[in-house]
Structure 1
C-alpha cells in the first residue's frame, strides 16, 4: 500500500536531525542554565529567584517568608523545572561560606561548611533578600533593562537585572554546560570597585594597572592565597588558571589551631584524612585531634603534637601536601557576553564589558527619568494654563458637550494636557495650588537640565557611574579575607621522616641472613647463629636512615631498616626480599644519612668513594655500583666515613697503606682508581676509614695490634703506593677496626 505524507511535513536524515536536536539542547544549557551573564553575574534560575523574591516584597527590611513560597512562585511563574534544583540554587545564594556577598538572608538550617547540602527542607526554612541584593534590583522599574515573556507568555520577566556592581566577579560561580564549563572565583567588593573605577577613568589601562587594585580573588572562608604573583597575572590575562589556597593556623599552648580553611573545604573531611594517617601510623608526631568549631569560631580545628620537640612547620607542611588543608581552586572565567555568546574572558575585557553594560543601564535610567520629567512638565504647563483661566475653564466644562476639544482649541493645549485638566479634583482648584505647580515646575526644570547635562557629557556620566560604585562599595564592602602570602611549596614527609628515630645495629651473617638489634651496645659476634653460619658484618645507625646491602659482584641494594626482623631470633635470609645474581654473596652493610660517604674497593686493588644515596636502589635486583674487575675479583669489605678521614688498606701480603680519603675519586658507580699497588697473586683483604686521630686495630687470627696516629706515619703514602710491611705475625690480616 502506498504511503502518504503530509504536505507540511519535513523529511530529514536521522544524522542531521540528531545533530540539530543536540545543538539546540547544548545552546539551551549554555545560555539558559549553566553560565552567568556578564551584566548581572547571574544564571537564569538565580535571576528568577531574586526577581520573584522582590515581587513577593521580601526585601532586607521585610519579614521573611517560607522558602517554599518563593520556590513555588519561581517554578510556577518563571522557571518550569524541579523544585529541589530551584531550592538548592536558592540555598547556595544564602550560604556565607559559598557566596562572598550572599543574595538571600536565610533563617533556619541552610547547610554548613562541613556539609553544604545538609540544609533543611524548604517547608521549614524562611528567607528574604539581603541588603546587597538591592544593588541588583534597585533600578529595575526605571526602564533600565529589557523584558521578555515567561515560559507560557502570561507574564514578563527581566532578561537581566540592572546590577550596580560587577556581581559576576564578586560572587563568582560554577556551572557545567555542554562542551564547556565555568569556574569564576569570588573577589573583594572594594578591590573590584577600585579596579572598575580606574578602568572607567583610564580606558587605556593595562592588566598590571588593574591588578594593583585587585591583585587576587578573595574567598569567603578566608585562608591564604599562596599562588605566585606571576601565576595570578597569567590567570587574569587568559581567564584560565588555578589559585592555590592554604589553611591558616596559630600556635596556642603548644597546640596547632587551624582557624581558616580553603574555599569549599570540609573541616570534618580534613580531620578524617589526618585521623586516617594516624591510624596507619604515618603521622607519629600527632597525638590527638579536636574539632572545637562553634558559632563564634566557625573554624577551629586543634592538632596536638606528641611533644614540644616536634617540628611544627615540617608537620604542617606535610599536612598541607597530603590533606585538604591546601587546595587548588580552578578558575575559568567563562561568561555570556553582551553579544549573547559564551566566551572565556580576561580581567580587562570582563571589566570593560561590564562597564559598557553599566553605562548603557545608567543612560537608559537617565533617559527614562528625563522622559518622565518632560512629560510631567508638559502636564504642569497645561494645568497652569487652566489655573490662569479657571473661570473660563469651568464655564467650558459646564456648557460644552465636548469640553476636551473646545479647551484644546481655545487654549492651544494638547490632548494630554486637556485630559489632565478634566481629571482635576475640585479641591485642587484652590489659589494655593498655583504656587505648588510653579514650585514643582522649577524643581523639575532644574532636574531636566541636570539630566540633559549628564546625558550630553560623557565625562559627567562617567563621574556619576564612579560615584555610585564608590557609594555602594562603602555601603556593602569589607576588608579582604584571603591574605596574599608568599610560601614555600608544601612537601610531604618521606616514610623515613615519619619513622621514629631509634638506635639500631644491623647484623649480616656469612650465609646472608640479616637482623636488627635495638641500640648500639650490641656484641654482633656473640649473637646466636644457625648451625654452619657465623658473623660477617654489622653497621650501627637509626631506624629512619638508609640501609644499603652489598654483594660480592659490586651490586648494591636498599632495605628499610625498621622492617628488619629482630635480633632476638636468627633473622631472615636476604634472598627472600632481594634477587642477587647467581653465585653472588652478600658481603657488607652500611647505614646512615643519605650523604654519608662510603668507600667501595675491589679485591683487585681499585676503589672509589660514593654516598649511600648513590648506592640506593628500589629494584629487588639492585644496581651495579662497583665493577670489581676480572680474574675473579670481588667486592672487599666496605667502610663508611662520617667526617674528614684517612683510608687504611691492607693486602693479603701484609702490606698496609694509609692515604687521605680526599685522594679517592667521588663516583656514583664504576671501577674507580688504584688504591694500593699489588703484586701477582695479591689482593686487598680489608679497608678501614677513620679519623687521623683515631687508633687503627689490625686483626690477624686471634691476635690484634693497635696503631695510633703517630705509629701510622710510617704507613702513610700516596694513593696507589705499595705501602709498608706490617710486623711479623700480622702478615695474615683478616680485618681492620677502629678504637676511638
Structure 2
C-alpha cells in the first residue's frame, strides 16, 4: 500500500517538472450561490435600512420613557454600576467605558456629550445625572471638561425611570454581541418624554419636544384617567405651555400654544426678563439656550456701529448669586426703556423662537407626530400596562413564596420525621416529596433551611408571613381583575410622584406685544447734507446746505449735473433716463472730499441708461417728473422710494424720450411751471394743472409736434418749478437769457399749448433754471 502511494507521488512530481515554466489556466473555486441584485434595488434597500436605523435607534425618543437609545443605555449602565443618588460619584470615563463596551459600540465623544447634556441644569429641566466638576456653562455648554476629569452619579429624579426596572415591567433584548441583556424601554413612572423634552434630526424627519412642568403634566394625566373623553380644552387647564429651565417669559399667545398642542407642530417664543434699577436696565433671565456673552457681543456690536446711540454703557455683572445679571446704562433718563428693550428683543437673542414638533416613536414602534391628547393617552396606556406587569410579577412572586411557605410549614409540623429522613436517606429529596406530598421546589427549600431556623418561633414567623402574603395576594388578584382598581393605582402613583418630584413653574406665561425694531434712520444724527450727482453718474454727499456744488472738483470729462438738499437720516432718490427710480441712505454715501463713487457700483440700472437727477426730502414732499417728449406729473417722494437695486419704473417714457431732471414742488397750489423747447418755445402755467400720481406717463405739459420730436427737430429742453414772481434763466447757445418777473407773464398760458416764442437770437435752447 505504501509502495502504491509512493508511486502516485512520483508520478505527480514528474508531471510538475514537465509543466514547470509553462502558463497554466487559472482555475477559480466554484461558488455554490451568488446573490445578484440590481444596483437600484440594493441601494434602495441599504438606504431604507440606514434610515430606519437612524429613526428608530438613534434620533427619535420613545413615547414610553422619552429616551433615545444612547440615553437609555447611559442611565441603565450607571444603575448597573450602582451610581444611585445615594452613592459616591465615580469618574465619567468609567460610565462611558461601560456604555461603549457593553451596550453602545459607537464613539466615546458622542456618548459623553449625550451624558453631559443630561447633567446640565440649564439644558435639562429635570437633570438625570448629578455631575461633579466642570460640566459646561450657559455661556458655552460645550466647555465641559474631559470625561477623565469629571465625576457623576444619577439624580433622585432618575428613579422615575429605574425604580421598577427589575420588577418584570419591561422587555429585554440582547446587547450588540449577545452576551448581555438590556431593556428596550425604561418603566417611566411619569411622561418623561414631555418633562425634559428632546431634539433630534433623523432621515426625512426631526423632533423638537419642549420641556414641561411635572405637576402640570401629572395633573393632565390624572384628569385624562378620570375623564377619558376629556378634550384638549380641558387639558389646557392643567398644561399651560412648555416650562424651560430658565425663568425667561414665554410670550406666545394662548391661542397659538393651543394650536401647537392640537396639531403637534408650531413654534414658541421666549423673551428675557428685565427690570429697572436706579435708571438702568437689568436683565435677570435669558431665554433657553441663550448665551449671556453672545447677547453682550450683539449689543456691543450695535453700539460700535452707532446703531444704539441711546446706550451709554453695557456691563455683565453675573456671579454665583446672580447667574444672569446684564446691565444696560441708557444715555439719559429721557430714553424710554420699554422702547429700547423692544428694539433689543427684535435685534438680539434676548427674544428667541423655538420650533415644536411632537414627533416620537409610538407603542407600535412607528414614528409619528402626536397632539397633546393622543400623546398623553398613549403614554397612559403604556403606564397602565407597566403597572399591570409589575403587579402580575409581584403576584407570581407572592404565590411562589406562599408555595414554599406551605412546604416549610409542613416540615415544621413534622420536624422529627424530616430530620430522620435527612439523616438516614442517601437521597432525601424524593423521600420527602413522597412522604409529605411536596413539590421539588418545596423539598429543595426544606433541605436548604439552616439549623438555626428550626426554633419554635420560626413556625410563628412562617404563619405570620403566610397571613400577610395571603392578604397581599388577594389584593393583587382583585386589582389585576379590575380595570377600575388598576386605573386607581396609576392615578395614586402619579399624584405621589408629582408631589415628590414636582416644583413650581419657572417660565412664566405672559402675552406681550410683538417686538419692534427702532427705525435706524431715527437713530442717525439729523445733519443737513447736500447730495451731488455728476453727469457721468458719480455721487457724493457734503455736509450742510450752504456749499456750491459747481465749485467742487470733478473727474476729467465730468461735471456737475444736479444736487438735492436734505438730512443725513433721509434717503436719496435717483431717477435714470428710462424713468426708473432708486434709493440709497444718505449717510452711507461717500464724502464730498473726494470724487465720490459711481452709482452703478451700488445700483443696477438697465444697460445704456444714464442718470437724470436726484431728489431728497420728507416722504410727503412733491416732485415734478417730466420727459423731453413734453409729458409729466407730480409725485410724492415716498412713492418714488425703491429698496431694490434694480429700482422700479415710475415715469413711463415714450419711444426715444428721455427723463428730465426732477424739480421740487414747494407749494402745489401756488407754484408755477415753466417749460421750454429746444427751438425756443416757452410756456408757463400752474403746477396744480398737472395730475398727482404715483406712477405713469402723465399729461402733456407743452405741445411738441410728434413728427418734429420723432425727427429730433424739437424736444423739451428743460422744465423749472418756481414761486410766483421769481425770475428765470434760460441757457441758450448765444448765452443766458434772464426772464424777469414781469416778463414771465408774457409766457403764461394753458397747459399743453405751444407757448410763446423767446426773443430772436435766443431760440437754440439748452436748458432752464430758477435764478436764486
Q: TM-score range by the shorter chain?
A: 0.7 to 0.9
Summarize the alignment of residues 124-523 of structure 1 with structure 2, pairs less than 5 Å apart: 124-310=149-335, 312-313=337-338, 315-390=340-415, 404-405=429-430, 408-409=433-434, 411-490=436-515, 492=517, 496-506=521-531, 516-519=541-544, 522=546
Shift of 1:107: 0.2
Equivalent pair of 2:665/2:721 in contact (CA under 8 Å): no
Q: Which stretch of structure 1 is more off in the superposition, 412-421 or 646-655?
A: 646-655
Shift of 1:177: 3.8
Alignment match, 2:726: 698
Work out the CA distance in 2 between the residues paired with 1:142 and 1:631.
92
Q: Secondary structure at the match of 2:113?
A: helix
Work out the CA distance in 2 between the residues paired with 1:305 and 1:378.
81
Shift of 1:331: 3.4
Alignment match, 2:143: 118
Q: Secondary structure at the match of 1:295?
A: coil
Q: Secondary structure at the match of 2:156?
A: coil
Equivalent pair of 2:620/2:636 in contact (CA under 8 Å): yes
Equivalent pair of 1:244/1:329 in contact (CA under 8 Å): yes
Shift of 1:133: 0.3
Alpha-carbon distance change, 129 to 603 in structure 1, aligned in 2, over 3 angstroms: same
How many pairs are equivalent?
A: 711
Q: Per-residue displacement from partner, 1:673-715 (whole Å, max 9, x unpaired)? A: 689999xx999965458xxxxxx66346899989xxxxxxxxx
Shift of 1:6: 4.6
Equivalent pair of 1:553/1:635 in contact (CA under 8 Å): no
Work out the CA distance in 1 between the residues paired with 2:42 and 2:609.
73
Shift of 1:342: 3.2
Matched, 1:667 2:672: no
Work out the CA distance in 1 between the residues paired with 2:107 and 2:637.
65
Work out the CA distance in 2 between the residues paired with 1:621 and 1:20.
50
Shift of 1:139: 0.7
Query: Normalised by the size of structure 1, how large is the TM-score?
Result: 0.80
Query: Normalised by the size of structure 2, how large is the TM-score?
Result: 0.77
Alignment match, 2:116: 91
Shift of 1:27: 3.6
Work out the CA distance in 1 between the residues paired with 2:396 and 2:599.
95
Q: Secondary structure at the match of 2:283?
A: strand
Alignment match, 1:12: 36
Shift of 1:239: 3.7
Q: Which stretch of structure 1 is more off in the superposition, 416-425 or 56-65?
A: 416-425
Shift of 1:256: 3.8
Shift of 1:179: 4.4
Work out the CA distance in 2 between the residues paired with 1:89 and 1:207.
33
Structure 1 regions of 5+ residues with no counterpart? 690-695, 707-717, 723-733
Equivalent pair of 1:507/1:524 in contact (CA under 8 Å): no
Alpha-carbon distance change, 284 to 203 in structure 1, aligned in 2, over 3 angstroms: same
Shift of 1:94: 0.8
Shift of 1:169: 1.9
Q: Per-residue displacement from partner, 1:391-445 (whole Å, max 9, x unpaired)? A: 5555665666666555555555544444444444444444444443333333222
Equivalent pair of 1:651/1:682 in contact (CA under 8 Å): no
Q: Which stretch of structure 1 is more off in the superposition, 20-29 or 45-54?
A: 20-29
Alignment match, 1:711: none
Alignment match, 1:692: none
Q: Per-residue displacement from partner, 1:46-66 (whole Å, max 9, x unpaired)? A: 222111211222111111111
Summarize the alignment of residues 569-584 of structure 1 with structure 2, pairs less than 5 Å apart: none
Matched, 1:64 2:89: yes
Q: Secondary structure at the match of 1:183?
A: strand
Equivalent pair of 1:675/1:719 in contact (CA under 8 Å): no
Alignment match, 1:78: 103
Alignment match, 1:37: 62
Work out the CA distance in 2 between the residues paired with 1:364 and 1:112.
42
Q: Secondary structure at the match of 1:106?
A: strand
Q: Per-residue displacement from partner, 1:632-681 (whole Å, max 9, x unpaired)? A: 9975873345x99765557889998779x7x9754101244689999xx9
Q: Per-residue displacement from partner, 1:164-185 (whole Å, max 9, x unpaired)? A: 1111222222334444443333
Alpha-carbon distance change, 647 to 682 in structure 1, aligned in 2, over 3 angstroms: farther
CA RMSD of superposed structures (Å): 4.7
Alignment match, 2:763: none
Matched, 1:614 2:639: yes
Alpha-carbon distance change, 697 to 380 in structure 1, aligned in 2, over 3 angstroms: farther
Work out the CA distance in 1 between the residues paired with 2:401 and 2:608.
110
Equivalent pair of 2:361/2:368 in contact (CA under 8 Å): yes
Q: Secondary structure at the match of 2:147?
A: coil
Q: Secondary structure at the match of 2:157?
A: coil
Structure 2 regions of 5+ residues with no counterpart? 1-25, 705-713, 730-737, 743-748, 754-767
Alpha-carbon distance change, 736 to 91 in structure 1, aligned in 2, over 3 angstroms: same
Shift of 1:92: 1.5
Equivalent pair of 2:624/2:662 in contact (CA under 8 Å): no
Shift of 1:273: 3.9
Work out the CA distance in 1 between the residues paired with 2:376 and 2:408.
47
Alpha-carbon distance change, 65 to 336 in structure 1, aligned in 2, over 3 angstroms: same
